[in-house]
Structure 1
Amino acid sequence: MTPAQVTLVQESFAKVAPISEQAAIIFYDRLFEVAPTVKAMFPADMTEQRRKLMATLVAVVNGLSNLEAVLPAASALAKRHASYGAKPAHYPVVGAALLWTLEKGLGDAWTSDVADAWTAAYGTLSGYMISEAYGTIEAAE
């Protein structure tokens, strides 16, 4: 990720933060719509899960300027996700639901540059998390 992309992610997320509760609802609704089988990995009451999602996004987005500081938490999160039954194939689906949610939340502020920045951020983190949870990306496929 370039410094400009980090700035775009952080600035765009700041616009979503005020509607974080609604954004989390939209995200999980979209995720369960496109990947209904993953719903079984989540609790019936999603209130706490939605809060955890947004708290994690805040930490990651704020940490993008110093990615090395975020990586230990990302590694632990990836391993927890694997223990819940998450597979490497779930990561692109989650990423697509996240980008879709951001697009809906940002409206006209969702530009191609913002989309590219978020795609780069998610790709960097998800690739790292997959390698941490499952070994090399090639071994996970």
Structure 2
Amino acid sequence: MTADQVKLVQESFAKVAPISETAAVLFYDRLFEIAPSVRAMFPTDMTERHKKLMAMLATVVSGLGNLKSILPAASALATRHVSYGTKPEHYPVAGAALLWTLEKGLGDAWTSEVAGAWSAAYGTLSGFMISEAYGRPQAAE
């Protein structure tokens, strides 16, 4: 990721953070719409899951300028995801749901540059997490 991409991700996330609960609902609703089979991996009451998603995103976004600072947490998260039943093929689906959510949340502020920056951020981190969890890098967007 370039410094400009990091800045775009951080600035755009700052615009989404005030609507974090709505963004979390949008994300999971979209995820379950495009991948209904993953719904069983989640609790019925998603309230806590919504908070955890947005907190994790805030941590990752704030640490993008120093990726090494967030890699241990990303590694631990990847390992936990395996125990939940997450497979490598779930990562691109979650990425698509995330980008869709950001597009909806940002409206006119969702530009091709912002989309590219978020795609780069997600691709970098999901690729790392897949490698950590499964021991082999795989493409994820």
Deviation at 1:137, TM superposition (A): 1.9
Sequence identity (%): 76
* Long gaps (5+) in structure 2: none
Partner residue of 1:137? 137
Q: Does 2:19 correspond to 1:19?
A: yes
Letter in 1 for 2:16: V
Q: Does 2:115 correspond to 1:115?
A: yes
**Which consecutive aligned stretches of 4+ in structure 1 deviate over 6 angstroms post-superposition?**
none
Q: What's the Cα RMSD here?
A: 0.5
Deviation at 1:136, TM superposition (A): 1.1
Partner residue of 1:86? 86
Q: What whole-Å deviation, never above 9, does each CA across 1:61-92 have from its counterpart, x for those lacking one?
A: 00001100000000000000011100000000
Letter in 2 for 1:101: T
Partner residue of 1:101? 101
Could you say what secondary structure the match of 1:137 adopts? coil
* Long gaps (5+) in structure 1: none
Partner residue of 1:56? 56
Letter in 2 for 1:18: P
Instruction: Give the structure-1-normalised TM-score.
Output: 0.97
Letter in 2 for 1:88: P
CA distance in 2, matches of 1:67, 1:127: 13
Deviation at 1:59, TM superposition (A): 0.1
Letter in 2 for 1:85: G
CA distance in 1, matches of 2:87, 2:25: 22
Q: How many residues align?
A: 138
Partner residue of 1:68? 68
Deviation at 1:16, TM superposition (A): 0.2
Letter in 2 for 1:28: Y
Q: What whole-Å deviation, never above 9, does each CA across 1:79-127 have from its counterpart, x for those lacking one?
A: 0001110000000000000000000000000000000000000000000
CA distance in 2, matches of 1:90, 1:136: 15
Q: Does 2:9 correspond to 1:6?
A: no
Could you say what secondary structure the match of 2:19 adopts? helix
Deviation at 1:58, TM superposition (A): 0.2
CA distance in 2, matches of 1:76, 1:106: 29
Partner residue of 1:32? 32
